[in-house]
């Protein structure tokens, strides 16, 4: 059983701890975390994330840690995080909100806020979480950050906010963000034999600088959360462009869209396109999109995966949807989707593809037996 360490962090005391951190003995974590070198920050240089003065975006500043041990560096990062000491940016932690404590496990840090956290407006709340996750996730061995309020699980829209990782937030820098909104994306992925589409719901929080169509398509490329469903594409697929003209959405993919995600993939190419079309139409209901057209590197001349003519509009296909299949709902958070987001999730998507291929092989073996 891993040893848990409770650190009470008081805002007034942290400034003094920063000066004394190199002289105070630090409590070490389990061997899997401790060490004199930090693989997440080169030579102890970290990025501290602050909020711009307008309160609309995050900015980052480099910080050189003094302490050699984990606890000392955690204290330093939190101190720097709470004290911007600048006229150009400010701490993402409002003066009204306090960090009651942190609890460190083998690979997770739990940050407990004071009750005032619940009074934050939605933009301040999401930027605070994003800034703190992006700052603390750099510590050696830390793979997730979890938040509580007065020792109670943080709830958003009546759902518990789970652990957040380095790919939970795509952090916007520099440009201001107009506004944020929650959106539940309605995604469709093929079932195990590729004959029907099963619904997955993903609730995300994102900038209105990013259109919903792109968000839906990128989530589809990332792959399903349900291991019994099948990925639509390889993780190498890129979105060249997405546009909406009237009630028609046009998606331009890179040529990798023609590659099947794994050998013996049972999903027909037409079903793949309808998975994208149904997901876009259902996720963008308020925009009244009636159909989706597809391009590959700007052209509709080549047949999709050698079979489907792209010179047509794909309307919602309800017959392909298996309404008896249980949908999966996942709470996730995205701030501002940069072009690099597809690459950031490529490894995870490839892992899902490999797992599904193994599961398919196992099912075939069991059926043969």
- Can you read off the two tokens belonging to residue 247? 């009630």
Q: List the chain domain ranges.
A: 5-160, 180-368
Q: Which is more confident, 30 or 351? A: 351
Q: What is the pLDDT of residues 213-263, one digit of tens each?
A: 998 999 999 999 899 999 999 999 999 999 999 999 999 999 999 999 999
Q: Tell me the backbone φ, ψ of residue 58, rounded to 5 degrees.
A: -105, 150
Could you tell me which residues are beta bridge partners of residue 251? Answer: 242, 294
Residue 331 is predicted with a pLDDT of 55
CA 94 to chain centre: 24
Q: What is the C-alpha separation between 294 and 309, in angstroms, rounded?
A: 10
**Least confident window among 94-98, 101-105, 155-159, 355-359:** 355-359
SS3 63: strand
52 SS3 class: strand
Name the DSSP class of 255.
G
Pick the more confident residue, 142 or 160: 142
Contact by Cβ (8 Å): 108, 23: no
Mean pLDDT value across residues 55-84? 92
Binned at pLDDT 50, 70 and 90, residue 166 comes out as confident
Question: How high is the pLDDT of residue 142?
Answer: 95
**Strand 155-156 to 159-160 pairing:** antiparallel
pLDDT tens digits, 195-218: 999 999 987 766 666 788 998 999
Whether 121 has a pLDDT exceeding 50, the answer reads yes
Calculate the alpha carbon distances from 359 to 183, 253, 310 in Å: 32, 28, 31
Q: What is the mean pLDDT of the chain?
A: 78
What does pTM read for this prediction? 0.53
| 59: helix, strand or coil | strand
């Amino acid at each position: 059983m891993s040893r848990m360490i409770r650190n009470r962090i008081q805002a007034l005391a942290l400034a003094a701890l920063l000066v004394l951190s190199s002289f105070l003995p630090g409590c070490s974590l389990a061997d899997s975390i401790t060490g004199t070198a930090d693989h997440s920050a080169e030579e102890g240089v970290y990025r501290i994330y602050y909020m711009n003065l307008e309160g609309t975006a995050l900015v980052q500043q480099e910080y050189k840690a003094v302490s050699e041990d984990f606890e000392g560096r955690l204290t330093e990062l939190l101190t720097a995080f709470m004290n911007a000491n600048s006229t150009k940016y400010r701490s993402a932690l409002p003066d009204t909100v306090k960090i009651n404590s942190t609890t460190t496990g083998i690979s997770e840090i739990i940050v407990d806020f004071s009750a005032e956290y619940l009074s934050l407006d939605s933009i301040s709340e999401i930027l605070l979480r994003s800034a703190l996750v992006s700052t603390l996730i750099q510590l050696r061995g830390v793979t997730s950050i979890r938040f509580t309020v007065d020792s109670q699980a943080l709830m958003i829209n009546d759902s518990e906010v789970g652990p957040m990782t380095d790919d939970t937030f795509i952090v916007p820098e520099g440009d201001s963000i107009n506004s944020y909104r929650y959106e539940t994306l309605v995604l469709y992925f093929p079932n195990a034999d590729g004959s029907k589409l099963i619904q997955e719901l993903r609730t995300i929080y994102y900038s209105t600088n990013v259109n919903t169509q792109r968000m839906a398509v990128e989530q589809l490329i990332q792959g399903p959360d349900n291991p019994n469903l099948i990925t639509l594409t390889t993780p190498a697929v890129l979105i060249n462009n997405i546009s909406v003209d009237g009630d028609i959405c046009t998606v331009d993919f890179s040529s990798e869209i023609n590659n099947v995600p794994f050998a013996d993939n049972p999903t027909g190419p037409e079903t793949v396109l309808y998975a994208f079309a149904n997901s876009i139409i259902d996720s963008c209901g308020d925009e009244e999109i009636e159909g989706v057209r597809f391009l590959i590197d700007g052209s509709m001349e080549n047949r999709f995966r050698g079979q489907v003519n792209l010179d047509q509009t794909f309307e919602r296909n309800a017959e392909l949807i298996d309404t008896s299949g249980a949908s999966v709902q996942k709470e996730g958070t995205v701030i501002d989707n940069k072009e690099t987001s597809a690459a950031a999730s490529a490894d995870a998507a490839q892992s899902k593809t490999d797992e599904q291929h193994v599961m398919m092989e196992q099912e075939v073996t069991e059926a043969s037996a």
